[in-house]
Amino acid sequence: TLLQKINLQLGITIVVITHQMSVIKDICDRVAVMENGEIQEEGTVFDVFSSPKSAIAKGFIETAENLTTFHQKLSEGSLPGIGDNTPVWFLTFSGNSAGEAVVCELSVKFGLSANIVYSNIDFLKGRSLGKLAVGISGNLENIEKARSYLVSKRIGLEVLK
């Protein structure tokens, strides 16, 4: 809080070096992720947290959001309600899409079931950033239509399984 106050009142740029992603999310406007003394990725906090490009940034963010445990459970096949043939999608919501009832739409528009197996929402500088992993079940044709629909709505979609 003191650093934010100094920054706002005096207009002083403050450089923070930390491994604590919560500090970066709370007080920083921009972030540079370094490895072995070299910048691997840089940008606004929102951009880097919503769509990390480098492996090191992805690792930091996964640790901060407890995604490491989720990925471990997924690889072990020990997520509740997720069978061997159940597709798992990792969805990233930002901007206007963060407030939409997308899981409901998957059911109503496409007749699919979406089992939520991970979720997180952050508020970075007044913007919402939601992450959701769902196991999808239903007709294969409708699963593909739903995937295309989500991509058309600019919802980040990564097929994990």
* pLDDT, tens digit, 9 for 90 and up, residues 107-133: 999 999 999 999 988 888 788 888 999
Given 64, 93, 114, the domain boundary residue is: 64
The verdict on 77 and 155 lying in the same domain is yes
The verdict on 79 and 114 lying in the same domain is yes
Q: Give the pairing type, strands 127-137 and 88-94.
A: antiparallel
The verdict on 76 and 20 lying in the same domain is no
Write down the pLDDT at residue 136. Answer: 94
| Token pair of 63 as six digits | 């640790």
125 lies in which domain range?
Answer: 67-159
Nearest to 125 by CA among 19, 15, 3, 26: 26
The verdict on 42 and 117 lying in the same domain is no
The verdict on 38 and 86 lying in the same domain is no
Higher-pLDDT residue of 98, 157? 157
Q: What total number of domains does the chain contain?
A: 2
Contact between 64 and 103 under an 8 Å Cβ cutoff? The reply is: no
Per-residue model confidence as pLDDT tens digits over 36-79: 999 999 999 999 998 899 999 988 888 877 788 888 888 888 88
The verdict on 82 and 150 lying in the same domain is yes
The verdict on 124 and 49 lying in the same domain is no
Per-residue model confidence as pLDDT tens digits over 69-120: 888 888 888 888 888 888 999 999 887 666 678 889 999 999 999 999 999 8
Assessment of whether the complete model's pTM goes beyond 0.85: no
Average pLDDT in the chain:
88
The verdict on 21 and 37 lying in the same domain is yes
The verdict on 122 and 52 lying in the same domain is no
Given 41, 64, 87, the domain boundary residue is: 64
Measure the CA–CA gap between 143 and 32, rounded to whole angstroms.
37
The band of 161, judged by pLDDT with boundaries at 50, 70 and 90, is confident
Write down the pLDDT at residue 81. Answer: 81
The verdict on 31 and 77 lying in the same domain is no
H/E element holding 108?
Answer: helix 102-110
> What is the pLDDT averaged over residues 11-30?
87
Given 45, 64, 83, the domain boundary residue is: 64
